[in-house]
Chains A and B, each alone.
Chain A
Amino acid sequence: MSDTISPKERLARKLGGKTSDRPPVICPGGMMNAAIVDVMNATGHTLPDAHHSKELMTELAEDVSRMTGFENFGIPFCMTVEAEVLGSEINYGTLECEPKIQKEKFATAADVVFPEMKAFDDNKRIQAIADTIHALSKKHPDTPVIGSLTGPISTAGSIIDPMTFLKQLRKDKENSHKVIDYVTDCLIHYAGLMAESGVDVISIADPTATGEILGPKMFDEYAVFYLNKLVDAIHKMGKPAIVHICGKMEAVKLSVAQLRSDALSVDAFVSLRDIKNLFPHINTMGNLSTIMLEFEDAEKVKKGTRVLLKNNIDIIAPACGLSTSTPIANINAFTETVKSPQ
């Protein structure tokens, strides 16, 4: 069966709540980075070098899309760029291991120094990401380029010691709001650079902003408020936005429904079918278990994928960050099952 519409149009239709021939199968990058070891070893375009060079980043993004079958490009390959610009110390990791925050820049919210937005324009990695988006969107007009952001709460928790930060959300609301509001403005600026470079979709993952960590009151006060501020600004740029919420959702189900993103991506143990039934206006995205993708065989993966298809999930994707040691055969079984379900 040959596809009648391009991957880019299919994803745009789904994000716009329109009908389509079938759901797209994507992996947005950032927290959900699909640059797995199997791909890099086959092509020699490897991390951590590709975090810094636009040529390598472009080649690796192309390798990933071609070899995994995911119907998009997803960059960057980590969630440390924002914190790097704001001063935290980054460990760029290895081929197998994603970059991480080595040390947060500030001890408390009151200590945070707010640099000029220009710091984002001047950062070498941001420039490489913007150039890569530009190159990919010019070279592949039919494939959507997704730019991934680390959400406001997670970015704030990557520049302030996270244990202190979580307490200050209660104890020092004034400075907490000040920092998160500023961080959100930074993310809007960064999203603007992506939009100018020709990005098709912005995807936001905010793994610190879960109902399990924050509880419903603070999830509303901080996560929903600032994610919506960010999403509204992205909409003003004329781009759709995906939001991924980690963890169990029971405590914050009603709050999550207040998010104004164009699709909601969730963890493996959240029932997207329930979300669809409760909130028909939400475009659902997800949520094949990454544990299944890493440790089970291709037959199990196909079965799991068919369940998502049967439940009419709007956009099919992994449920969370993929392990870099996920076998390519499992990912192929995943993407091929979406493309030709029999």
Chain B
Amino acid sequence: MAVSKEELYQKMSDAIVDMDEDLVAELSNEAVAQGLDAFEAIDKGLTPGMERAGQLFEEEEYFVPELLMCADAMNVGIDILKPHIKSDDTKVKRKAIIGVIEGDTHDIGKNLVKLMLETGGFDVIDVGRDIPAAEFVEKAKSEGAELICISTLMTTTMDAMADVITILEEQGIRDKFKVVVGGGPISQGFATKIGADGYSRNAAEAVRLAHKLFEE
């Protein structure tokens, strides 16, 4: 007996919170078999599960390993459902560039922000780690991104974050982008000082910040 689609979406969400890749795969396949709308299955099944995982992370019930495993489970579901999305369902998402500034190769935090931003509906382009300031700007321009997210874990590299903003100003395009910064040594005070549009302490907060920056 087939369950209602609401029940199925709830089970998908639960399976992500439980980090159960196999169950997410089974449920996603079931959604396809039932002929459910794939976009809706992602939007109402997978995404809420990942949002709940983000919430648990913020409440310190989940830590980095758990959050990463939830994301793996979500991605299993997305891989199954995505090919079934009707092309007119794909609304245009805002683009964001994310990377770790030059001098630093620690990217755990950046990867967490990336996956939460994707869950939050952004099209995120990951430029990687140890990336020069100029490359952030070039990539944001060529990709048509509206949001630039810069991360570092090392105090040594904080100044290079300010360089991104200086380059944008020099090129007269500062107002075309929102720039947000984060990472271990960064504070709201530092973000304000270098003229960034925002700072967030963790990945879940970064999504709220990004949404807030683009509110009309």
Contact = CB atoms under 8 A, between A and B. Distances in A.
A48 B65 CA distance: 34
B63 A290 contact: no
B63 A163 contact: no
A96 interface: yes
B156 A215 contact: no
A213 interface: yes
A73 B42 CA distance: 57
Contact of A102 (B64, B103, B105, B111): B105
Nearest to A267: B184
Interface in A11-61: none
B63 A214 contact: yes
B108 interface: yes
Contacts of B105: 91, 100-102
A138 interface: no
B157 interface: yes
B155 A213 contact: no
B69 A213 contact: no
Contact of A323 (B68, B158, B184): B158
Interface residues of B, number: 26
A20 B156 CA distance: 34
A162 B103 contact: no
B108 A213 contact: yes
Contacts of A101: 105
Contacts of A213: 63-64, 108
B108 A98 contact: no
A100 B68 CA distance: 24
Interface stretch (A164-172, A192-200, A234-242): A164-172
Interface range for A:
20 to 34
Residue of B63, B158, B185, B190 contacting most chain A CB atoms (<10 Å): B63
B146 interface: no
A83 to B, nearest CB: 11
B63 A212 contact: yes
B216 to A, nearest CB: 35
Interface string A54-87: 0000000000000000000000000000000000
Interface in A185-218: 212-215, 218
A290 B185 contact: yes
Given A100-B104, A214-B63, A215-B60, A170 B155 contact: no
Nearest to A102: B105
Given A167-B69, A167-B72, A322 B64 contact: no
B111 A323 contact: no
A324 interface: yes
Interface string B156-173: 111100000000000000
Contacts of A214: 63-65
A162 B108 contact: yes
Given A102-B105, A213-B108, A291-B187, A166 B155 contact: no
B66 A170 contact: yes
B130 A100 contact: yes
Contacts of B185: 290-291, 320
Contact of A167 (B60, B65, B159): B65
Interface in A97-116: 97-98, 100-102
Interface in B60-100: 60, 62-66, 68-69, 72
A251 interface: yes
Contacts of B111: 163
Given A167-B65, A167-B69, A323 B108 contact: no
Contact of A171 (B64, B69, B104): B69
A291 B157 CA distance: 12
Given A214-B64, A251-B60, A291-B187, A170 B156 contact: no
CB-CB nearest 3 A-B residue pairs: A215-B63, A323-B155, A100-B105
Given A93-B103, A166-B68, A215-B60, 5 more contacts: A100-B130, A101-B105, A291-B187, A321-B155, A323-B156
17 contacts: A91-B130, A96-B103, A96-B156, A97-B156, A100-B103, A100-B105, A101-B105, A102-B130, A166-B68, A167-B69, A214-B65, A215-B64, A215-B66, A218-B65, A290-B155, A321-B155, A322-B155
